[in-house]
Structure 1
Amino acid sequence: MNQLRKFFKYIKDYSKYVDFSLLITYIVLCMMGLVMIYSASMIGGPRGMLSGAGAVSSTYFYKRQLFSIILSFGIVFFMTYFMHINIIKNKRVQQFSIIAVLLLLVATMLFGTEVNGSKSWLNTGVMMIQPSEFLKIVTIIYLAYIYDKKRQLDQMSLDLFSPIFLIGFCSGLVLLQPDMGSALLIFMIIISILLYSGIAFGTMIKTAGALVGVACLAFIYNMATIGSLLTPHQVARFEVLKNPFKDESGIGYHLSNSLMAIGNGGLFGRGLGNGIMKLGYLPEPHTDFIFAVISEELGLIGAVVIISLLFFIVYKGFMYAALATSMFYRLICIGVASYIGIQSFINLGGVSGLIPLTGVPLPFLSYGGSSMLSLSIAVGLLLMASKHVKQEAEHKKQMKIK
């Protein structure tokens, strides 16, 4: 009984450093995602219209996502209250993370399962995982760790470029799957972290050139293997932006149905569960096109609420980055904010026709265990960093009083 009392006292004492507005926003997004995944799959699942599963029960995707959310909530709670930031700074933890994700990416290249033209899934025997999702987290913590240790960031040196080359090589493996959406997101996370790392502008330009070089090598590989810079699947996604309704039953099928679903919702939507386009018209309504289902069923108001909640998390990340005195905390916050913000833009831009479709899921709302775990770890990192930023601010305040 005493141990239980101590546990709750510890939770109460530490709760004053926890940003509950951030935590509640994360929970609300996950719960809304769970509801919309059930709505998007409850009819298509039993009819076998959703890829990779065949005919399944109406609650198949709901239950699997619920399991991922429960596991994710546990991870976020543990990271927030019981995990010290110094664990991430441990050299061996960093080395293990890099080696583990590199091996997973290589294994995916050799033994991965192809889904929708991308060989990015690995069957571990227990569950299907997408290693590129965890590379996003490793990119954030590894670059934050490395550049926090560097003191002469204005000088060109191997110490500056070695982490970029290593992460760039891993990103190149993702690009070769080919998973252009995830590779693009990782490159943009790298650029975001570099912008806040204190590196001189000229040095940053040369570093960006090195990243472009990695992308060029991947394109050269494509030229050698398939005879073109982009796969036919990728070329079609660029071409469809010109006029998605020109070939509605061909290359424009995905985007034209997505746009119709968004337009059908109007201001207030058709009502939860009453969407039409998810009934065999929208491909992957529970994953890539979950926002189209949300827009049709909850209308413009529901779509704006979702976008606002995602923006709030991104805003919190940049806010804590501005308040942090430690380079490590700052880069963690920037990395997480960039991860969630850019991934949201890529998904929303794809389903609305602003940019080519990439297959990148909408954070916290799309179905997917790997994505949910990765994004939840990112939120856990942000909560950990924000907790230490608050503790530093409180310490400074006490020092001024003394």
Structure 2
Amino acid sequence: MIDRPLFLAAVTLIVIGIVFSYSLSAYTVLLYNAAPYHFLLRQFAAGMVGIVLMWLIARQNPDRIVIWLGFILLVTSALLMIAIPFLPEQIAKEIGGAKRWIRLGPVSLAPVEFFKVGFVFFLAWSFSRRVLPKHAARSKDTRYTLKEELLLLLPYIIVFAAIMFIIAIFQNDLGQVVVLAATLLFMMIFAGSSIRIFGFSILLGILAIAAFVVTSPHRIERFKGWWFMLQNSIAKLFPQWAHAVPKVNLVEEPYQVSNSLHAIHHGGLFGVGLGNGVLKLGFLSEVHTDFVLAGMTEEIGVVGVTAVVMLLMFVIYRLLKIAGRVGNTIYYLYCSGLAMIIGFAFLINALGISGVIPLKGIAVPFLSYGGSQIVALSIGIGLALSMSKKARL
């Protein structure tokens, strides 16, 4: 039987995202001289396509659909990401120093969103055939050494290095790399890898991220902006330590995070009312995308956003519950990985807009404006729903 609570929770989140794509885009509509319902109609169309695809995929037999649909997502999106830098400006316009979207008339496509779902499937399919059986065959007394585990996982490390190069260098999108890296790490653990691999991978990831940051002036400035916010917070909370914090001078203060915190504070517990937010009027230029949680908090308050976040956590819970009840190892790893993709994307966005970590430009699953992430996640949830029919009651 299809996991109806998961389907209803995902649909509810899509509807909430549609509502706020209209409420939070008031200033953006004026800025770009767009029609009043421009963002609402586009998000509504993407949401309806996503819901229909989710339901249609959920009704299919997973044993017949998962493999071919997973590989189609993986291969097609990977080829598109490789091709984007070489496409003409009319099709792939450069925005912010990088090409991430393919535009075909009124439709804009971000291949990386579909790649994330395909990547999770690929790891689930490959780990179930190569990694998990080998770990399961070993007794507790004959576990792999760190060297043996590294050799076992070396092909995946090489593949991920290529992915990092494509996404972080060609598309200038380090945030997506962080989400995929964290998902890969936890899926290795789900497949039976040891804590030693966990620690080694974290160290390797930190070094790789540091290398990407120090080789990019844009990322250095973003890191400086985060440190500027952090030193101000330390000075306010612990004035006696303020003199010991290394100072950094910025050409421009990181106003986005500052206004994000103002929006959260202004909303208080119950918000100022749907559509009545003030900080969205030019102070948060990406309020309907990257800063959607801040805009929502101002309008529906901490209580309202907490309810929405709990709904998102419920989606993750249902995915993990399906993972724990299916007998097929591909399904188990896929549902676990999809839950990690959603969870890490939300976590990185929430920590970024609150100034805890540097901003990464990651969309909030289902809630941020953007048709690609809604349709891609809907396909991903649809596959999980089809797998739920094989779960033990």
TM-score w.r.t. the length of structure 2 is: 0.83
8 Å Cα contact 1:258-1:282 kept in structure 2: yes
Question: Is 1:365 aligned with 2:367?
Answer: yes
2:84 match:
108
Question: Is 1:123 aligned with 2:99?
Answer: no
Q: How does 1:116-155 map to 2 (within 5 A)?
A: 116-125=96-105, 127-150=107-130, 151-153=133-135, 154=144, 155=148
Report how far residue 183 of structure 1 moved: 0.8
Tell me the distance in 2 between the aligned counterparts of 1:281 and 1:77: 38
Once structures 1 and 2 are overlaid, which stretch shifts more, 156-165 or 362-371?
156-165
Find 2:2's aligned residue among 18, 30, 36.
18
Tell me the distance in 1 between the aligned counterparts of 2:98 and 2:220: 10
Provide the secondary structure at the position in 1 that maps to 2:24: helix
Q: Specify whether residues 168 and 330 from structure 1 end up closer, same or farther in structure 2 by C-alpha distance, changes over 3 A only.
A: farther
Q: Specify whether residues 384 and 55 from structure 1 end up closer, same or farther in structure 2 by C-alpha distance, changes over 3 A only.
A: same
Tell me the distance in 1 between the aligned counterparts of 2:14 and 2:267: 22
8 Å Cα contact 2:62-2:383 kept in structure 1: no
Cα RMSD after superposing both structures: 2.9
Question: Is 1:70 aligned with 2:59?
Answer: no
Report how far residue 247 of structure 1 moved: 9.7
Once structures 1 and 2 are overlaid, which stretch shifts more, 262-271 or 151-160?
151-160
Report how far residue 202 of structure 1 moved: 4.4
C-alpha distance after superposition, 1:151-183 (max 9, x if no partner)? 324555866432442243123311112111111
2:255 match:
253
2:181 match:
187
Structure 2 unaligned residues grouped into runs of 5+: 136-143, 237-247
Tell me the distance in 2 between the aligned counterparts of 1:26 and 1:189: 20
Find 2:165's aligned residue among 152, 156, 172.
172
Question: Is 1:322 aligned with 2:302?
Answer: no
Once structures 1 and 2 are overlaid, which stretch shifts more, 352-361 or 157-166?
157-166
Aligned partner of 1:316: which letter? R
Aligned partner of 1:138: which letter? G
Report how far residue 205 of structure 1 moved: 5.5
Once structures 1 and 2 are overlaid, which stretch shifts more, 362-371 or 128-137?
128-137
Aligned partner of 1:243: which letter? N
Tell me the distance in 1 between the aligned counterparts of 2:318 and 2:156: 27
Once structures 1 and 2 are overlaid, which stretch shifts more, 116-125 or 377-386?
116-125
Q: Specify whether residues 346 and 87 from structure 1 end up closer, same or farther in structure 2 by C-alpha distance, changes over 3 A only.
A: same
Report how far residue 214 of structure 1 moved: 6.2
Tell me the distance in 1 between the aligned counterparts of 2:321 and 2:183: 17
1:60 match:
38
Q: Specify whether residues 100 and 212 from structure 1 end up closer, same or farther in structure 2 by C-alpha distance, changes over 3 A only.
A: farther
Q: Specify whether residues 331 and 36 from structure 1 end up closer, same or farther in structure 2 by C-alpha distance, changes over 3 A only.
A: same
2:383 match:
381
8 Å Cα contact 2:149-2:193 kept in structure 1: no
2:140 match:
none
C-alpha distance after superposition, 1:250-307 (max 9, x if no partner)? 3321011111111111121111111111111112111111111111111111111111
8 Å Cα contact 2:60-2:386 kept in structure 1: no
2:265 match:
263
Q: How does 1:330-349 map to 2 (within 5 A)?
A: 330-349=332-351
Q: Specify whether residues 351 and 216 from structure 1 end up closer, same or farther in structure 2 by C-alpha distance, changes over 3 A only.
A: closer
2:30 match:
47
C-alpha distance after superposition, 1:331-358 (max 9, x if no partner)? 1111111011111111111112222111
Once structures 1 and 2 are overlaid, which stretch shifts more, 326-335 or 314-323?
314-323
Aligned partner of 2:115: which letter? L
Tell me the distance in 1 between the aligned counterparts of 2:156 and 2:67: 15
1:350 match:
352
Q: Specify whether residues 146 and 352 from structure 1 end up closer, same or farther in structure 2 by C-alpha distance, changes over 3 A only.
A: same
1:81 match:
59
Structure 1 unaligned residues grouped into runs of 5+: 1-16, 49-53, 395-402
Give the aligned length: 362
TM-score w.r.t. the length of structure 1 is: 0.81
